[in-house]
């Protein structure tokens, strides 16, 4: 069965630069192959501020938007987070989206493409890694980083030399880990069925 990787655009800010980066990264991923890739734009999901009263570990969701989000996230084997840096961390909209569900993230792999000022969003990526670890998401080492100053000097996204190679290297790791962790999830499901 083909692996499915969701590429999550982690900003909902009007005028965001991430849309251009996400479109480019999705094109690179699809040309690279190894999985089916789908862009998940948080701005299109309108999750609002976390409004579920129960513990997401129990998966007893009250609202249709949460059930839809649950089904979407559950259907992927791995993820690539396209994350900007806001004040040395990642956007609140992404944290909110992560917090809506729990088990749906478990035992999956993720890569991170960060972007921001001169630091290229690396502090946001490091903060995101801590949250993903708590969600039992295994983040790969390869981490492409996009500094906004030179790449948007003309107003449009112009990838720096070698960025496509860095993204493909990250995707190789995400694909390998996603395949391995699919086996972990299948073994866990068999154990639960046998119990």
Supply the range of the domain harboring residue 66.
Answer: 4-194
- Total number of domains in the chain: 1
In terms of C-beta density within 10 A (0-12 exposed, 13-18 middle, 19 or more buried), how is residue 115 classed? buried
Average pLDDT, the chain: 95
Higher pLDDT, 118 or 65: 65
Q: How many CA atoms lie within 13 A of 60 on its CB side?
A: 4
Percent of the chain with pLDDT over 90: 88
- pLDDT in the model for residue 150: 79
Digit-coded pLDDT (tens) for 150-191: 788 788 898 999 999 999 999 999 999 999 999 999 998 888
The H or E element that residue 162 is part of is: none
Query: Is the distance from CB of 88 to CB of 118 less than 8 angstroms?
Result: no
Q: What is the value of pTM for the model shown?
A: 0.95
CB atoms within 10 A of CB 31: 9
What CATH number does the domain containing 186 carry?
3.40.50.360
Does the pLDDT of residue 62 top 90, yes or no? yes
Rounded average pLDDT over 60-65 = 96
- Report whether pLDDT(74) > 90: yes
Predicted confidence (pLDDT) per residue in 106-156, tens digit: 999 999 999 999 899 999 999 999 999 999 999 999 999 999 887 887 888
Q: Rounded to an integer, what distance in angstroms lies between the CA atom of residue 195 and that of residue 7?
A: 35
């Amino acid at each position: 069965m083909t692996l499915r990787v969701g590429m999550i655009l982690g900003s909902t800010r009007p005028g965001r630069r991430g849309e251009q980066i996400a479109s480019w990264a999705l094109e690179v991923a699809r040309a690279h192959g190894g999985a089916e890739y789908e862009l998940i734009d948080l701005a299109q999901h309108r999750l609002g501020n976390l409004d579920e009263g129960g513990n997401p570990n129990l998966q007893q969701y009250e609202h249709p938007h949460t059930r839809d989000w649950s089904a979407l996230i559950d259907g992927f084997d791995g993820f690539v987070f396209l994350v900007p840096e806001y004040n040395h961390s990642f956007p609140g909209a992404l944290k909110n989206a992560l917090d809506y569900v729990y088990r749906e993230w478990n035992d999956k792999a993720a890569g991170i493409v960060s972007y921001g000022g001169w630091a290229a969003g690396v502090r946001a990526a490091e903060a995101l890694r801590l949250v993903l670890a708590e969600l039992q998401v295994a983040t790969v080492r390869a981490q492409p980083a996009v500094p906004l100053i030179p790449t948007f000097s003309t107003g449009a996204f112009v990838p720096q030399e070698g960025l496509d190679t860095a993204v493909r290297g990250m995707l190789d790791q995400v694909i390998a880990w996603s395949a391995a962790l699919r086996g972990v999830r299948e073994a866990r499901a068999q154990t639960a069925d046998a119990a």
